[in-house]
Structure 1
Amino acid sequence: MVKTQDPVRNKMREILLEALSKVIGEADDSMKTDIEACDPIRVAVTVESVMFENWGRSTGAHKFKYRSILFNIKDQNNPDFRRKVLLGEIKPERICNLTTEDMASEQRRQQNKEIEEKKLFDCERSGAPKATTDQFKCGRCGQRKCTYYQLQTRSADEPMTTFVTCVNCNNHWKFC
């Protein structure tokens, strides 16, 4: 492998080479010939050189980006990213502009999507704590499955306003 005068850069190249060398063992038979034609040493050196040209040493503000790229290339659950880098489907120049979401495996993207949906759902349901009761009857569907909460919306000498939501049809109403 082509060495530099910088031990940090040399270590980066070694890590990239180690990760890219795994691709041949992970590939199925249909891809073996394409992968064997690639040179993981050349790709590792090129990727590290492009990263160095764009950001300089892996210190300071760009340290996170270096780590993110190395993590995603080394990730055992992300063989597709490694394979795409080695085969040149993702050019070294483009790697520097990829987000963590772009580098993530399909499984990780699905997990992130589920987490995002859950956070959005929790966010929509947040607010004042709600109690469930059968005390109120929905005017739309006639069911008695409702949640409610109370807030002081007027002056202190006025009664609290009760906000009711039907669990069945999501009808909302309020009363004092």
Structure 2
Amino acid sequence: MMPIDRERSDADMNSLKRTKLAYSILSIVLIVIGIYLIIRPQTAMLTVCRVLGVVLMFYGIIRLLGYFSHDMYQLAFQFDLAMGIFSLVAGCIFLFRTEWIAELIPAFIGVIVLIDAVFKIQTSLDAKRFGISKWWLILILAVIAGALGAMLLVIPLKVVEFVMVLIGINLVIDGVLNFWVVHDTVRMIDSL
């Protein structure tokens, strides 16, 4: 019986390592897209919608993989089933209803970032309970991300270049926050 449990443990460890790597790559992609939008805010909204559609679908898949991984604390991935499904649906909408979503993109991204920020605030408080020393950094980044997400809900679309810069800033902060959370809260039994 012991060899089977050890094999399962090794498989779980490898699955968790792959999920952490995928989260890290996704976080870097969000940061790169965000920086690009900050530097080139005149980028066409339809192009942004299509790229974000692909990213959201990838994000949804990664979030679902995270939910089904075997993280010891279950902090970083605790809301990933809901966010994974939501992101997959959002990605499909961005890809297949591009013209329609282009008008709603600031509010849509604002809602996604705001929801994710609220979940990350809870994650930071749970991390504090588990004794993770940098829980406060997750909290600060989540509050900043939430505030910027809320700004996207109230800024008029007429100021397109400003909206694109704000979307870029949101993506950079969300990417940094996701990277930090996955590397600071995900624990494997052998790493303790």
TM over 0.5: no
Instruction: Looking at secondary structure, tell me which structure has more helix per residue.
Output: 2
Larger radius of gyration: 1
Instruction: Looking at secondary structure, tell me which structure has more strand per residue.
Output: 1
Question: What is the TM-score of this pair, normalised by structure 2?
Answer: 0.23
Question: What is the TM-score of this pair, normalised by structure 1?
Answer: 0.24
Structure number with the bigger relative contact order (C-alpha 8 A, sep ≥ 6) is: 2
